[in-house]
Amino acid sequence: MSAARQDTTLLGAEGARELIAFLTRSDGATATTVLERPVRQGGPVHRLTLRRPGRRAAAPEDGQAGPAQPHLLDRHVLRLAPASAHVDTPPPDLFPAGAALLTNTGYRVPGVEPLPLDESLENTIARARPRHIRVLVDLHAEQAAPSEALLDLHDAMFRTAKACMERAQRPQSFAVVVLGGVDAARVPHACTGLFTGFAKSLALEWPDTSVVAVVHEARDLIAAEPDAAREMVTEQFLPVVYHAGGTRLLWQAVAEPGEHVEARPSARGYTVVAAGGARGIGAELLLALARRDRPRLHLIGSTDPDGDAADAQVERKDFIRTRTTGPQPMTVREANMAYDRLGSAREVRATLAALREVCGADRVSYHRCDLRDADDVHTTVRRITDAEGTVDLLLNIAGTNRAASVEQKRLQDFRTVRDLKVRSYAHLKAAFGSRQPRLWCNFGSFVGFTGQTGETDYGAANDYFNTAALHHSAHETREFTLGWTLWRDVGLGATPLMRTFLAKSAQFTAMPTAEGVDHFLHELDQAIHGQHTPVTVFFGDAERTAIEAAAPGYLDFCRKASGSHRTPAASLGPRPPEFYVDDIVDRAPGRLTVVRRFGLDRDAYLREHVVAGHPTLPGTFVPELAAEAAMHLVPGRVPVVIEDVRLESFLRVYKADRDEVKRIKARLLSDGPRESVVAVEVTGDVLAPDGRLLVKDRRHFTARVRLRDEPVAAPRWEHWDDHGAEPLADPYHVPNPAVLLSGVFVSTAGTRTHPSGRRAHYAPDRSGIDRWFSGLVVPSVLLDGLARVCVLDRAELPGHGGDWTPLAVPRTIRRIDLYGGHTDASLAAAGTRVELYSLPARLDLESGAANRAVAVTAAGDVVLQIKDMTGVVLGHVHQTTGAYRERPRGAAPARTATPQAQEATS
């Protein structure tokens, strides 16, 4: 019987009740149990059925019949995202008087003598009793595999923290500064995670100590020190912050379900090497993979599956009694460990037997090997590659856990937990050499992402897996790390003690085996399709609650990206949107041409935006057309600035039965590690009523798009008070022959003038946005409403008196800044309140004077900004009567306090 089944038989009535209580905490979840006859000897088994709305379903476990169960954990992709810092306190001295310094660099910090990393370290700490600990790490000369000197420094971090605890005096601050820990393209150095993972767990263990890790692109302390000092008084959510390319970055866990793909290998099968996969969750996943694909399997492990087979059926108490007596007695602890090895051997034998039954005895091999021994690993890998050639998939599964606080943890245990992952990984990389596996999958942990009390070693090792996967993926290696939470029926989470802890703590979701298998096969299929995601973390409601309690507001920061754009699971960036892309008719290096057919059936929203009696594309939708073309030309990056927008002729649909075919041409102007710049032109042919070509490629719009890897962090805006504000009706909603908006384009409320400019509330029509614009990447409806706010004012018309408000259409926009990755759909779905501002108080739209319009969340974060818009006034609407007056041809601009270009059209 496998370990999973043995543990399942332990789930009696009381255990079932505990798990139901734990699993049904979230709203809308229901759970039931069914009493089943045990498969083999043991007590009664209760099988749980959990149902939650809105979660992808996993296949039934063990091939049993019955409905699939909804997932308890959601898939999250980890990425570095820009985050602004709001600091009211002057930054402190990074190295205050009396600080203790640990470092592997040759830098000299005035007034701070580096501590020795030898055996005298603890005594030095005991004598100095430092109130501030500083760790300065230089990675610029380090390889992806940590050097012995780097691991010595890592040990010294733990030894220092432990020495402080032994003196019963936690320091006031513990700061780690990693030089050369990230590059300008926001790719971490592989070894960065060793130090950030340690910091995350230590911060949870020492809540009264200021713990932070600052990872900097700079290679010298002089350049990094100002940023590091500011971070000592800045919120990071998780206690880790990156500085790269002049941008401050925090980790974002973006909820992405990933794409469904069908990725089946050929009938010949493929070769899998599993390092440490003969027991626990590795065994379950290998069995699932064997049943589905029947690959050639090589399992590497330290357990001798045939050792002491004669004792396999002996009870623990009898084994211990026998081994603690006799001529060479063991201690009770040694006897317990020996019995555990017997259990491990039984599990390995059972796994191998099951795999050979499915794949064939000649297709499953077991290699006994100590993964912490470089020579042993090299010999084993050479034996496998000599027999198989290139390995298709490496599953790096080995790991152990010995959770304990820094005060209670032994240095030997710290090294054991860390090294089984870190050294094993390095030895495998070195052993494969130039014949690296085609796919490399690390089994990581949720703890590597968030840290966990008592896990300074395990958290560091798993965060190393995260940064190593990001590092190697950026260098054209298909490597990915899966951040698992605890499994319910196998591994650490399956023990009765851990089950009790889970039920009481409610900090972790106990994941059923079937769901874990489903997640794993999904990620593998993505990778087989060449769409791997370097770091994926799975967590559910319990983890979200724990995260929010430990880092209030962090999940909101993550959700900004989750709703901003839909991304394929295996992409390193967002998928190019396709609302305005029918077909790419021409593609060459640095350029492409997109065709889009506009018609009143598919683009019925144009009927709600009418200029001179004709359905017309709003001018504020030009950034969307430009952004979509640019994102197809430079996949993986997102638009952050749209500039030099020129609106030369209206894009109209004149007849319901005739589409208007337009060409969107994109040309790459520059492409650097920080930013890509793309020029976009939209043209269309002018046809006579009988279909004859009158003008070829008449230009409608031009624009330039700046794209980066991530959205830009939002700047702050101080909201105006309403003193002196006066209500003013939006003239575009009053019936008139010039520009009339309705439906989804009625997007503002509370329009009013203000002594500093103009104001309004953004009031999106959620149903209209969901129907028409859920796929847009630029918040075009918001942009439309913001531009309209700019024209709000009272003007005096010669011969007609005052109280007239202009109607205008835009002609040029110098710059549009997009912040935070928001879209109309994400703002509407979240119910985000947005305030609209336009300034200065007096401006002339047609003069080209400097002006500015800003959309700001209630929390003060800028969503988007328009700078220096010009336009043409078509006429005026009377605020009281609703009368319309066309602007006379050749007339001078009306005296108005604000006409600025409107979203209207072009």
pLDDT in tens, 133-179: 999 999 988 999 999 999 999 999 999 999 998 776 789 999 999 99
At 74, list the tokens: 């959601």
Mean pLDDT is lowest, of 259-263, 374-378, 775-779, 878-882, for: 259-263
Higher confidence at residue 339 or residue 146? 146
> In this prediction, what percent of the chain has a pLDDT beyond 90?
52
Q: Tell me the pLDDT tens digit for each residue of 762-812.
A: 999 988 998 889 889 999 999 999 999 988 888 888 888 888 899 888 999
Mean pLDDT is lowest, of 198-202, 464-468, 721-725, 891-895, for: 891-895
* Residue 840 preceded by cis peptide, ω within 30: yes
* Cβ neighbours of 749 (radius 10 Å): 12
Specify the pLDDT at position 676.
92
Query: CB-based contacts of 184: which residues, under 8 Å, 6+ apart?
Result: 217, 244, 245, 673, 674
Q: What's the predicted TM-score (pTM) here?
A: 0.59
Pair 247, 82: CB distance under 8 Å: yes
Query: CB-based contacts of 434: which residues, under 8 Å, 6+ apart?
Result: none
Pair 835, 762: CB distance under 8 Å: yes
Mean pLDDT is lowest, of 350-354, 421-425, 504-508, 515-519, for: 504-508
Q: Tell me the pLDDT tens digit for each residue of 677-688.
A: 999 999 998 877
At 304, list the tokens: 């001798």
Task: Mark residue 258 as left, alpha or beta (left: phi above 0; alpha: psi -120 to 50; beta: remaining).
Answer: left
In angstroms, the Cα distances linking 905 to 618, 745, 810 are 4, 12, 7
Of 561, 491, 101, the C-alpha closest to 283 is 491
The residues with which 666 forms a beta bridge, in sequence order, are 592, 680
At 259, list the tokens: 């794409």
Which of the four pLDDT bands, split at 50, 70 and 90, describes residue 262? low
Pair 383, 182: CB distance under 8 Å: no
| Mean pLDDT within 739-764 | 94
Residue 336 pLDDT > 90, yes or no?
Answer: no
Stretch (H or E) spanning 774: none
Q: Tell me the pLDDT tens digit for each residue of 63-79.
A: 444 445 678 899 999 99
Q: Tell me the pLDDT tens digit for each residue of 91-136.
A: 899 999 889 999 998 777 888 889 999 999 999 998 888 999 999 9
Specify the pLDDT at position 54.
39
Question: Quick one: CA torsion of 594, 595, 598, 601, rounded to 10 degrees?
Answer: -110
Which of the four pLDDT bands, split at 50, 70 and 90, describes residue 486? confident
Beta strands in 99-238 (DSSP E): 100-103, 132-138, 173-179, 210-216
With tokens 């709703």, the residue in question is: 563
Q: Tell me the pLDDT tens digit for each residue of 182-234.
A: 988 889 999 999 999 999 999 999 999 999 999 999 988 998 999 999 999 99
Pair 435, 383: CB distance under 8 Å: no
Residue 487 pLDDT > 90, yes or no?
Answer: no
At 462, list the tokens: 């798993």
Q: What single string gives the DSSP state of each residue in 506-521?
A: --S--B-HHHHHHHHH
Axis crossing angle, helix 332-359 with helix 316-323, rounded to the nearest 10: 130
Query: CB-based contacts of 59: which residues, under 8 Å, 6+ apart?
Result: 68, 514, 517, 518
Q: How many CA atoms lie within 13 A of 424 on its CB side?
A: 28
At 523, list the tokens: 């990620």
